[in-house]
């Protein structure tokens, strides 16, 4: 990690550091990212570095631009006709706006999980197989089966669905549906996963499962999660960024952020003192 904010290096003796402080590699770099919806600017000049194989949480009040920024990373904002993005985002040093980089390929490499579980109205198998199939990741049926199985296993869903792969994905419970969506996203073997409030529609048990899954996926993926739950951000992430009114107010290690944020606005927001 680069320049750490003051005091981030010292912990309260009772709080164990969640992430060993190694100089982690930077996966995603954003410089001067601004987003406009028509005339209205939704995001102001965001600079952030997201380290590899870690979870970064974006927090902030509704409409603060955190989801907007998240959707910049896989260029989902391109699908909104009036949206316009400025600045640069690089993944592994490669500019995502590079005209030689295909946006479809980018989205396959940057998986996304949405607020509401949104499995396709198809079978569980088809849900997971869809991505690999359209990108031609499997050369044979058995290879595809392997990808599907592996994705479901990594999403911790295999045990629950192994005997009903051909049943509709929408017949699963909310938590299972969300894990199915995660399985679908990891089926194209992305190295970045964007999660837009993935647990906001889930009950606490399902939420815990997803959080556990996020923790496991961190080993191989760089995860960015937008959440409204401070506790969730504190539980799953290593670093946290606080957005307010379209600006990145503060970005630091999660333990620091939740123990001793440096910005008064962050403090007020996370302790529930917002006006």
Which stretches of the chain bind other proteins, using CB under 8 A?
7, 10, 12-14, 74, 76, 79, 81, 104-109, 111-114, 116, 118-121, 130-131, 134-135, 168-171, 181, 184-185, 187-188, 230-231, 234, 257-261, 266-268, 270-275
Q: Which strand ranges, in their side-by-side order, compose the sheet holding 26-37?
A: 40-51, 26-37, 83-91, 94-95
DSSP-derived letter for residue 123 is B
- In whole angstroms, how close is the CB of 84 to other proteins at the nearest point? 14
Report the alpha-carbon distance of residue 106 to residue 207 in Å, rounded.
Answer: 28
3-state secondary structure of 18: coil
Query: Nearer to other proteins by C-beta: 152 or 185?
Result: 185
- What is the maximal distance between C-alpha atoms in the chain? 58
- In whole angstroms, how close is the CB of 51 to other proteins at the nearest point? 22
At residue 224, φ and ψ (nearest 5 deg) are -120, 125
Tokens of 151: 């994705």
- In whole angstroms, how close is the CB of 45 to other proteins at the nearest point? 26
Query: Nearer to other proteins by C-beta: 26 or 85?
Result: 85
Query: Nearer to other proteins by C-beta: 91 or 106?
Result: 106
- In whole angstroms, how close is the CB of 117 to other proteins at the nearest point? 9
Where b means 16+ CB within 10 Å and e means fewer, 40-73 reads eebbeebebbbbebbbbbbbbeeebbbbbbbbbb
Report the alpha-carbon distance of residue 194 to residue 185 in Å, rounded.
Answer: 9
Query: Nearer to other proteins by C-beta: 76 or 155?
Result: 76
- In whole angstroms, how close is the CB of 139 to other proteins at the nearest point? 18
- In whole angstroms, how close is the CB of 190 to other proteins at the nearest point? 9
- In whole angstroms, how close is the CB of 133 to other proteins at the nearest point? 10
Q: Which strand ranges, in their side-by-side order, compose the sheet holding 239-244?
A: 110-113, 192-196, 222-226, 55-59, 239-244, 247-253
DSSP for 34-91 reads: EEEETTEEEEEEEEEEEETTSEEEEE-STTSSHHHHHHHHTTGGGGSTTEEEEEEEEE
Query: Nearer to other proteins by C-beta: 93 or 272?
Result: 272
Query: Nearer to other proteins by C-beta: 69 or 258?
Result: 258
Query: Nearer to other proteins by C-beta: 24 or 172?
Result: 172
């Amino acid at each position: 990690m680069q320049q750490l904010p003051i005091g981030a290096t010292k912990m309260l003796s009772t709080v164990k550091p969640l992430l060993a402080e190694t100089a982690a590699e930077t996966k995603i770099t954003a410089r001067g990212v601004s987003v406009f919806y028509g005339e209205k600017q939704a995001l102001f000049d965001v600079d952030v570095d997201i380290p590899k194989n870690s979870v970064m949480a974006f927090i902030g009040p509704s409409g603060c631009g955190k989801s907007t920024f998240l959707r910049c990373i896989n260029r989902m904002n391109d699908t909104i006709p009036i949206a316009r993005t400025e600045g640069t985002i690089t993944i592994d040093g490669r500019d995502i706006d590079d005209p030689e980089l295909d946006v479809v390929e980018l989205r396959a490499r940057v998986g996304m999980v949405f607020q509401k579980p949104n499995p396709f109205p198809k079978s569980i198998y088809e849900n997971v197989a869809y991505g690999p199939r359209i990108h031609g990741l499997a050369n044979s049926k058995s290879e595809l089966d392997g990808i599907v199985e592996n994705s479901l296993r990594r999403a911790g869903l295999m045990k629950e669905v192994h005997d009903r792969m051909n049943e509709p994905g929408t017949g699963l419970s909310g938590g299972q549906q969300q894990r199915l969506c995660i399985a679908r996203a990891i089926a194209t073997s992305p190295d970045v996963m964007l999660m837009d409030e993935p647990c906001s529609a889930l009950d606490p048990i399902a939420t815990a499962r997803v959080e556990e899954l996020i923790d496991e996926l961190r080993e191989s993926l760089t995860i960015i999660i937008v959440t409204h739950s401070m506790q969730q951000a504190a539980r799953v992430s290593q670093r946290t960024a606080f957005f307010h009114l379209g600006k990145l107010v503060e970005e630091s290690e999660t333990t620091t952020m939740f123990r001793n944020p440096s910005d008064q606005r962050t403090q007020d927001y996370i302790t529930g003192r917002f006006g």
